[in-house]
A and B are shown apart, each in its own frame.
Chain A
Amino acid sequence: MQNGTREANMKNCLVVDDSKVIRKVARHILESLNIRVSEACDGRDALNQCQNAEHDVVLLDWNMPVMSGMEFLQQLSSINVARPKVIFCTTENGLGHIRAALDAGADEYVMKPFDRDILESKLQQVGVI
């Protein structure tokens, strides 16, 4: 029963990255923070998943095939779902990219490489944990 309550209270994170390795590392860290994880390999896949299930937060790569992270973010507001928090997580570490992401509605920004402390800190800042 208690386990069931804990499961129900778990936050959901969609990890969007075309690198399987990055998704695996992120999943490992997020699950250690008691967050339920689903994965998407590009922006299109992520949009589809957002239409079908509610997520509390999206960890979003910038450069991906099919649909980039920025295109995903721009189209996210047009689909009729509760808006998840969006944390960009990318090797695009210049000021221009950071400003563009925030202007487009990103809530936080992680510059790769990341570790557990960084992800935990960013998730706290967007109020997910």
Chain B
Amino acid sequence: MLEAGLTPAMRVLADLLESRTGQKLSEARRWRIETSLKPVLKAHRLSSLDSLAAAIIADAGGALAQAAVDALLNNETCFFRDAQLFRMVADDLFPALMAADGRGRRERTLHLWCAGCSTGQEAYSLAMLFRTHQDRWPDWRLRITATDISAEAIGRARQGLFSQNEVQRGLPINELLRWFEPSGDQWRIDPSLREMIDFRAANLFDERPPAHPYAAVFCRNVLLYFSGERKSRLLDILSRALDSGGYLLLGAGETVIGQRSQFVASHQFRGVYERIGAPLFDPVI
């Protein structure tokens, strides 16, 4: 029996999304399924979701399926999303991570992971923030690993080219002047920020997290797309990627409460979770 509100074609697409990414096509996202897939329909000269579903089933190579998945993923993001959080990161979190015993002290490099980075605005915001306050930590470097399941989003992030609309959302005009140059009708980010970030297309549910124990993982507005069991698995993966005493930053309204015991709410930083217990980091060989 069909799930309420889903046509057979939508069911095919919802199953495809879930099998490739683990994400549920929630009720809230169903209303815009047709809008999201319009560019794919147009590019492949298909007239309806029914014909798209049929073509995906018949497409042995899977390129069409991947295009549909990319289109269904919500790549909504902006620079300095939740400005208050970024102020806390600059004023409190970065200094605390640098002061923490035994973490990054030898090499004086902070390692962060942006998990589910979309087109890169969060990672670039962190890089800008770090560099803006570099005089407060002159001996330190920042390295960010930024991953997203969408190869298309990662491709855009790597390019570091943003539309006029994108650079006006969350980014103060002085930051635009400082870190961007016009490039045609787009804006190109300073290559020195780009060099601080390793963008990779990767599934969060890969057996091992990307190399390095991280001082902090930013996984904001990602958990909300997963059901309970998947959420728990993802939190396990994130906890393995973190240093003991490292921090997990989630989106507003997301929580680890009731999911896993390897995190506790930080007493120091509101809305941030601290990884407790011995390190579980399993390095990639």
What is A's interface to B at a CB cutoff of 8 Å? 93-95, 98-99, 102, 108-111, 114-115, 117-118, 121-122, 124-125
Contacts and interface: CB of A to CB of B under 8 A. Distances in A.
A121 B164 contact: no
The 6 closest A-B pairs by CB, nearest first: A109-B173, A118-B168, A125-B172, A121-B169, A117-B169, A108-B173
A95 B172 contact: no
B170 A93 contact: no
A93 B164 contact: yes
B167 to A, nearest CB: 9
B68 to A, nearest CB: 26
Contact of A115 (B83, B165, B173, B176): B165
Nearest to A114: B168
Contacts of B176: 98
B83 A124 contact: yes
A121 B173 contact: no
A108 B168 CA distance: 10
Interface in B150-176: 164-165, 168-170, 172-174, 176
B164 A111 contact: yes
A108 B169 CA distance: 12
A95 B176 CA distance: 10
Given A93-B164, A115-B165, A121 B170 contact: yes
Contacts of A102: 173-174, 177
A102 B172 CA distance: 12
Given A121-B78, A124-B83, A98 B173 contact: yes
B108 to A, nearest CB: 32
17 contacts: A94-B182, A95-B182, A98-B176, A99-B177, A108-B172, A108-B173, A109-B173, A110-B168, A114-B168, A115-B165, A117-B169, A118-B165, A118-B168, A121-B78, A121-B168, A125-B83, A125-B172
Contacts of A124: 83
Contacts of A94: 182
Contacts of A114: 168
A39 B134 CA distance: 43
A2 B83 CA distance: 29
